[in-house]
Structure 1
């Protein structure tokens, strides 16, 4: 156990040194590669303007997303009406989807309690 901890510390130290050496060059390279997305001048007002643009653009796309939701819901309703024609694969996919939703719910509960499993602080 102690040797694994030492190996982990060694690898973390190596990663830290690598980031220390090459982190700034990677940062500069990343900014240079994506400079077409950078807004000039970088002010608070510009950020507020972009945030409002994003909000209202997403709000404007809401009707098409709403329409897609209702189409998918109609598809699920038709599958439920014809459940005798349902394949095992489709039922398996539905079960996995339900399991994934439950897992995300559990993860959210754990995060909401401060990463404790019992709800008590240890």
Structure 2
């Protein structure tokens, strides 16, 4: 156990030395490569302005999303009306998708209970 701790400590030292040597270079390269996304001057006011722009831009996209939702729902209604024309492959894919959603829901419940299967701590 002590040898593993020593190995872990030496790897941490190596990593911190690497970051100390190359971290600022990486930071500068990253900023230089993505400078088209940086708004000047980089102040708190600019950040707050951008935050408001993002919020209201997302808010303005709601009508388009609303329309897309109803188009998707109309497509599902059309498929449901013509369900006798569906192929076995389409039905099996839909069933597998529903099963996957159910499985993820069950896994989410198990994780939410702290990885217990009965909900009670033994």
TM tier, smaller: 0.5 to 0.7
Q: Which residue of 2 aligns with 1:117?
A: 115
Shift of 1:105: 3.8
What's the CA shift string for 1:15-43, capped at 9, x where partnerless? 94696254433332121111011112222
CA pair 63-85 structure 1, distance change in 2 beyond 3 A: same
1:61 positional shift: 1.3
* Matched residue, 2:65: 65
The CA distance in 1 between the partners of 2:63 and 2:81, in whole Å, is 27
Cross-structure match for 1:74: 74
Aligned ranges for residues 63-102 of structure 1 at < 5 Å?
63-102=63-102
Residues of 2 paired with 1:56 and 1:74: CA distance? 28
Structure 1 runs (4+) greater than 6 angstroms displaced: none
Runs of 5+ in structure 1 lacking a partner?
none
For 1:48, the equivalent position in structure 2 comes to 48
In structure 2, do the counterparts of structure 1 residues 16 and 120 end up closer, same or farther at CA, with 3 Å as the change threshold? farther
Instruction: Tell me: CA distance 1:17–1:41, structure 2 relative to 1, closer, same or farther (3 Å).
Output: same
1:29 aligns to what? Answer: 29
* Structure 2 portions without partners, runs of 5+: none
User: CA, structure 1 residues 74+46, in 2 after alignment: closer, same or farther (shift >3 Å)?
Assistant: same
- Give the alignment's Cα RMSD to 1 decimal: 3.4
Size of the aligned set, in residue pairs, is 112
More moved, 84-93 vs 62-71: 84-93
The alignment's TM-score, normalised by the length of structure 2, stands at 0.67
C-alpha displacement of 1:53: 0.5
